[in-house]
Amino acid sequence: MEADKFRNYDNATPRVVEHYLNMRSKQTIAHYDKMAAKYTFDDPNKKMTILEAFHKLESYVDASDPDLEIPNLFHLLQTAEGIRNAGHPEWFQIVGLLHDVGKIMFLWGTDDDGQNGYDHRGQQWSLGGDTFVCGCAIPEQIVFPEFNKLNTDMSNELYNTKYGIYYPHCGLDKLKFSWGHDEYMYRMLVANKALIPDEGLAMIRYHSAYSWHTYNAYEHLCNEKDAVMKEWVKKFNVFDLYTKSSDNKIDVDKVWPYYEALLNKYGLGGQLWW
């Protein structure tokens, strides 16, 4: 499969362009802090199983993805099956299965926080899309760099310099990335004490950070561990991108028992905190 067939934004639909315009201008430090305070993983009324979350995501279509017209549910199963068929470890398969489940935040989205869209209507600018670091200059190595200047933090001298509020090689885990399904799902897995190794958690937390893992921006903020994690994130990315196919709809009922056993094994069975 030719690599340049995917992630081509030259002919992006107005929906994709609008998504990135909103995301780039509204994802600020203040927005990150607001979202981090919104999701505390301690509300008993929000508890549900992974399967229940999957069913709620059944009709979710990503507004930021130029390659994906099919519901996210199938994308998750296609990614997991691709990883499984390539002979990768079970924890890696779980990462494939869960990496986009954080889009479930649409359930609790409001009109103004960029999380109230689950299809071609509503806002998804705080659910999906290529992420960037808030609190320092936004790099040119990102989709639609012409939108960078629209970010309100970029006119604040605390936030618009190379290092901004960070220090050299502080490590990716010290950074506040634009808030979306990546950061949320990482936090959800940690909150539920999932038995997924650091490599898998990094895949989930940074898989949309293309400017970092593919275009090498932010090297001045990374530490030695991040260099190792980057290779794992890139390994994952191959499956995230190249298993996308609308004529490969997997039978959920058929494959689910296999994944349910895996989820139980890795501490993700039963009712979880969201």
Question: Which residues bind to Fe ion, rule: CB under 5 A?
Answer: 100, 240
How is residue 212 written in tokens? Answer: 């970092």
We find the least distance from the C-beta atom of residue 208 to Fe ion, in angstroms, to be 5
Q: Which is nearer to Fe ion, 137 or 201 (CB)?
A: 201
Tokens 């991108």, residue located: 241
**Phi, psi (degrees; rounded to nearest 5) at 173:** -70, -5
Chain centroid offset of residue 23 CA: 13
Q: Which is nearer to Fe ion, 113 or 240 (CB)?
A: 240
Instruction: Tell me which DSSP letter residue 23 carries.
Output: H
Q: Which is nearer to Fe ion, 154 or 241 (CB)?
A: 241
From CA 185, how far away is CA 167, in angstroms rounded? 26
- Residue 255's contacts (CB-CB under 8 Å, 6 or more residues apart) are 77, 81
81 vs 41, 124, 248, 255, 259, CA distance in Å?
29, 26, 11, 9, 10
Q: Which is nearer to Fe ion, 153 or 240 (CB)?
A: 240
DSSP 88-129: --HHHHHHHHHTTGGGGGGGG--TTTT---SSSSS--TTTSS
Residue 95 · residue 232 · CB < 8 Å:
no
We find the least distance from the C-beta atom of residue 6 to Fe ion, in angstroms, to be 12
Q: Which is nearer to Fe ion, 100 or 183 (CB)?
A: 100
We find the least distance from the C-beta atom of residue 156 to Fe ion, in angstroms, to be 29
- Residue 138's contacts (CB-CB under 8 Å, 6 or more residues apart) are 24, 132, 145, 148, 151, 154
Q: Which is nearer to Fe ion, 164 or 180 (CB)?
A: 180
We find the least distance from the C-beta atom of residue 100 to Fe ion, in angstroms, to be 4
We find the least distance from the C-beta atom of residue 138 to Fe ion, in angstroms, to be 20
Q: Which is nearer to Fe ion, 242 or 256 (CB)?
A: 242
We find the least distance from the C-beta atom of residue 46 to Fe ion, in angstroms, to be 21
We find the least distance from the C-beta atom of residue 204 to Fe ion, in angstroms, to be 9
